[in-house]
A and B are shown apart, each in its own frame.
Chain A
Amino acid sequence: MRRGKVVSSRRRRGHLLPEILFEFPGENLSVRHALAQLRHELSSLALSADDLGSIEIVLGEVLNNVVEHAYCEGASGSIHVSCVPSVHVLRFKVEDQGVMLPFEELPEGELPSFDRPLAALPEGGFGWYLVRNLACDLVYQRREHRNILAFSIPVEGCA
């Protein structure tokens, strides 16, 4: 397994804590490792277990999505993640060089309907719903063959 690494963490003006930067290959196991690293990096912020759970859920869905859709059909590449901790919020930016989102826009992320027989229950379609439920200020841009997704996750503590 190729492991990602923390590229740097630099202190930015106006922010209480350094920006955390990650770069890793767009593969499922690398995503898993990156999430563990992010959790470790965030441990100094004294966030609640509930907030850490939300962060991992959102990042997991966003990053899996890049692996499954942006880097599908033989395409591969790396994923860049930036996390800027601020007061009561973590601001994230995720970049990849894969295929753009269909219609160049974020999916609605509505919860699939359960009003159907057991055999027809949905097995997917929960990812964007979870992201939209737990994150805010989602902005997607396609710029110079790159996908850039920015979003914020509110947290209780003063990060």
Chain B
Amino acid sequence: MEFSCKETSDVLIVKVDAPRIDAAAAISFKQNMREITGKSGISHVVLDLSEVGFIDSSGLGAIVSVMKLMGGTKRLDLAALTPTVEKVFRLTRMDSIFTIYAQSAEVEKIYQAG
């Protein structure tokens, strides 16, 4: 699974460059994310899902698992949910667990505004 990362002094934006986070991709997603977030010293991570058109319960579980692995010291937010992904988060009420931004650029702006 491909990712592209953008790191500033305040936030690490991880964009998933894959069309789906499904049962076939969940393990690879989890491993990659653990590596990426483990390597970076930045405590605020935003997962940009703008390229992800579909997620299933395995993918959802993988995102929750990544958030739990980051523990209480790091923070995982989400950005740019496409309609079907948004639907899965809304129906499972996972949208109440995560902070979700419309676009990942919003997060950068918040930090720039200081």
Contacts and interface: CB of A to CB of B under 8 A. Distances in A.
Interface of A: 28-29, 31-32, 49-50, 53-54, 56-57, 60-61, 64, 67-68, 111, 114, 118-119, 121-124, 126-127, 129-130, 133-134
A80 B22 CA distance: 20
Contact of B87 (A54, A118, A122, A129): A54
Q: What is the interface of chain A mostly: helix, strand, loop, or mixed?
A: helix
A53 B54 CA distance: 8
The listed residue with most B CB atoms (<10 A of its CB), out of A29, A50, A57, A133, is A57
A109 to B, nearest CB: 11
A67 B24 CA distance: 11
B114 to A, nearest CB: 28
Interface bracket on B: 20 to 34
Interface of B: 20, 22-24, 54, 56-58, 60-62, 64-65, 67-68, 71-72, 83-84, 87-88, 91-93, 96-97
A60 B65 CA distance: 20
A130 B83 contact: no
Contacts of A67: 23
Given A31-B23, A57-B56, A118-B72, A126 B83 contact: no
Contact of A29 (B24, B71, B93, B96): B24
B61 A126 contact: yes
Shortest beta-carbon contacts, A-B, top 9: A53-B84, A28-B24, A123-B61, A126-B57, A127-B57, A60-B56, A64-B23, A126-B92, A123-B64
A118 B91 contact: no
B83 A129 contact: no
A28 B58 CA distance: 11
Given A50-B87, A121-B64, A123-B61, 10 more contacts: A53-B83, A64-B56, A64-B57, A64-B58, A67-B23, A114-B96, A114-B97, A126-B61, A130-B88, A130-B91
Contact of B93 (A31, A50, A54, A111): A111
Nearest to B61: A123
Contacts of A124: 57, 61
A124 B61 CA distance: 6
Contacts of B23: 28, 31, 60, 64, 67-68
B6 to A, nearest CB: 26
A60 B85 CA distance: 13
B68 A121 contact: yes
Contacts of A29: 24
A50 B71 CA distance: 35
